[in-house]
Amino acid sequence: MLSVVLTVIQRDLLLAFRRRADLMNPVLFYVIVATLFPLGVSPDVEFLGRLAPGLVWVTTLLAALISMESIFRQDFDDGSIEQLFLSPHPFSMLVFGKVAAHWLITGVPMLVIVPLMALLLHLPVQAIPVLWATILLGTPILSLVGAIGAALTSGFRGGGILLGLLVLPLYVPVLIFASSAVSAAVDGLAVSGHLAMLGAGLILALVLAPFAIGASLKISMS
Amino acid sequence: MWKYLHRLSSLKYCYEWSGKWVPWLLGVTAVLMLVGLYWGLLVAPTDYQQGESYRIMYIHVPSAWMSMFVYAVMAGAGFVALVWKTKLSEIIVSECAVIGAMFTALALITGMLWGKPTWGTYWLWDARLTSELILLFLYFGIIAIHSVIEEPRTAGRVASILAIIGIINIPIIHYSVTWWSSLHQPNMQLVSKTPSVHPSMLYPLLVMAVAFQMYFVSLLFIRMRNEILYRERLTKWVKKALAGH
């Protein structure tokens, strides 16, 4: 079964690399939105540094949301979702493969771009490793939870706006624990509690989300 | 018992059955509300700290309780809708979302009105206010589904899944917000909303709580009956039922 999941991941990665322009979109979105904050708030170094943990994570949430919309869209249009559903392998595992591929495409670039933008927003350097850890633990949760919303909405016209309304409230715990961890790191406080909560959230999402995504896709296909 | 439940899941039977209950439910609601409001607003003693403004609690606290209770009912109905695929439970999910959003908004508005004289501001990013606001957003999401997905059965199932996901997430959101607020506002001295309440203040509150429950059931029945009529508008029995009026 692992080989089937790997095949799904491989297929999605291949498709993504054939359309490299789409690959850059969430990253560009991230960079541009992060640039807006100093313009809109204040370029003051100390002020921005205090806001930075929240700013980088709010922007991460938005970038994840933007990228979620396309995760099943193409497969819905060309019917490959139906083919996956008809295959003899467990649907939720195949869907999990799709989410994993989506995270590799959109989450992994965040590991590079978020710390970079955080430095531009004057986040103190000692907080960067913790920021990195929160991205590593947090963005998979965003992908898994967001995929539930995408699965529920991508079969319908106007689903894109609905997606934000459905998914952003569910992203709140990730935002809280991740930005608190980074803030605590800035202040030199212990971060293990926040990171442990993020890890627990990741495990919960890994266990439950694939089933919810599978069930949601089934409804959208009917 | 199962036979009875099965019969109730028929929309026509449910319409007729609930029709008998609505006047009684509305009557009980009206009596309880009048008693509770009179007792709470006029009879109950003035609070020695908050003065008269605490009396908004007789609306606020039952609405806040109902905002969560209705979500639980909605998730329960959503579970039934996904497992047994009954139309009635899908209708209950969509109607609960509207009623729940109303209670949540009421709890938020009364909370803000209470906050002005007590905290000196309408809005604080306090844990309870914030998680109640997020609850309102969750309700809005479920309501919005029905405007985006036109096919009512599909919309009903999507809403059911979301209601179930929400019920898993509400405790997580609630505790994360509580933790967040204790981290960010360590010095805030909140007047506890329900310190061990004296019986003379508590009993009217309990009456109001029961009144709100009855109000919820009446509203649910009325909205459910309208939705049944709308969904079954092309059937013979609806035409016959409406021809009488």
Separation of alpha carbons B102 and B70, rounded Å: 10
Expressed as residue numbers, the domain containing B105 is: 18-42+54-183+199-228
Separation of alpha carbons A171 and A63, rounded Å: 12
B135 in any annotated domain: yes
Query: Hey, is the C-beta of B201 within 8 angstroms of any chain A C-beta?
Result: no
Query: Hey, is the C-beta of B37 within 8 angstroms of any chain A C-beta?
Result: no
Looking at the structure of chain A, the number of domains it has is: 1
| CB-based contact A219:A100 (threshold 8 Å) | no
Report the chain A residue with the minimal C-alpha distance to residue B136. Answer: A169
DSSP letter at B43 equals I
How would you class A96 by CB atoms within 10 Å of its CB: exposed for 0-12, middle for 13-18, buried for 19 or more?
Answer: buried
B152 in any annotated domain: yes
Query: Hey, is the C-beta of B134 within 8 angstroms of any chain A C-beta?
Result: yes
Instruction: Dihedral sign for Cα A197, A198, A201, A206, please.
Output: negative
| CB-based contact A147:A68 (threshold 8 Å) | yes
What confidence tens digit (pLDDT) does each residue in A56-86 have?
999 999 999 988 888 898 888 888 899 989 9
B243 in any annotated domain: no
Report pLDDT for B187.
42
| CA–CA min distance A159, chain B (Å) | 7
Instruction: Tell if the CB–CB gap between B176 and A197 is shorter than 8 Å.
Output: yes
Separation of alpha carbons B161 and A208, rounded Å: 13
Chain B 82-111, residues with CB within 8 Å of chain A CB atoms: 82
B137 → closest Cβ in A148, A169, A220: A169
Backbone φ and ψ for B47, nearest 5 degrees, come out as -75, 140
CB pairs under 8 A between A and B: 69
| CA–CA min distance B112, chain A (Å) | 21
3-state percent helix, strand, coil for chain B, nearest multiple of 5: 80, 0, 15
Render A105-174 in DSSP notation, one character per residue. HHHHHHHHHHHHHHHHTT--GGGHHHHHHHHHHHHHHHHHHHHHHHHHHTTSTTHHHHHHHHHHHHHHHH
Q: How many CB atoms sit inside 10 A of residue A111's CB?
A: 13
C-alpha distances in Å from residue B81, one per residue of A12, A216, B93: 34, 14, 8
B176 → closest Cβ in A156, A173, A220: A173
Separation of alpha carbons A179 and B87, rounded Å: 43
Looking at the structure of chain B, the number of domains it has is: 1
| Average pLDDT over all residues of chain B | 86
Report pLDDT for B189.
44
A162 → closest Cβ in B82, B145, B176: B145
Report pLDDT for B188.
43
Instruction: Tell if the CB–CB gap between A212 and B165 is shorter than 8 Å.
Output: yes
What confidence tens digit (pLDDT) does each residue in B153-206 have?
899 999 999 999 999 888 888 888 888 877 665 444 444 555 566 778 888 999
Structural tokens at position B235: 């059937």
B134 → closest Cβ in A153, A169, A212: A169
B11 in any annotated domain: no
Report the chain A residue with the minimal C-alpha distance to residue B146. Answer: A162
Expressed as residue numbers, the domain containing A148 is: 2-221
B8 in any annotated domain: no
pLDDT beyond 70 at B134: yes
Instruction: Tell if the CB–CB gap between B141 and A148 is shorter than 8 Å.
Output: no
Query: Hey, is the C-beta of B148 within 8 angstroms of any chain A C-beta?
Result: yes
Q: If we measure between CA atoms, which residue out of B147, B135, B148, B144 comes closest to residue B106?
A: B135
Query: Residue range A163-192: average pLDDT?
Result: 92
What confidence tens digit (pLDDT) does each residue in B69-128 have?
999 999 999 999 999 888 899 999 999 999 999 999 999 999 999 888 888 888 888 888
Report pLDDT for B160.
94
Query: Hey, is the C-beta of B168 within 8 angstroms of any chain A C-beta?
Result: yes
pLDDT beyond 80 at A41: yes
B144 → closest Cβ in A165, A197, A212: A165
Angle at B9 between CA B5 and CA B11, to 5 degrees: 145
Instruction: Tell if the CB–CB gap between B138 and A169 is shorter than 8 Å.
Output: yes
Report pLDDT for A2.
87
Tell which wins on pLDDT, B6 or B120. Answer: B120
Q: Please, which pLDDT band fits residue B44 given cuts at 50, 70 and 90?
A: confident
Q: B39-43 long-range CB contacts below 8 Å, 24 or more apart?
A: B39/B203, B39/B204, B39/B207, B40/B201, B40/B204, B40/B205, B40/B207, B40/B208, B43/B204
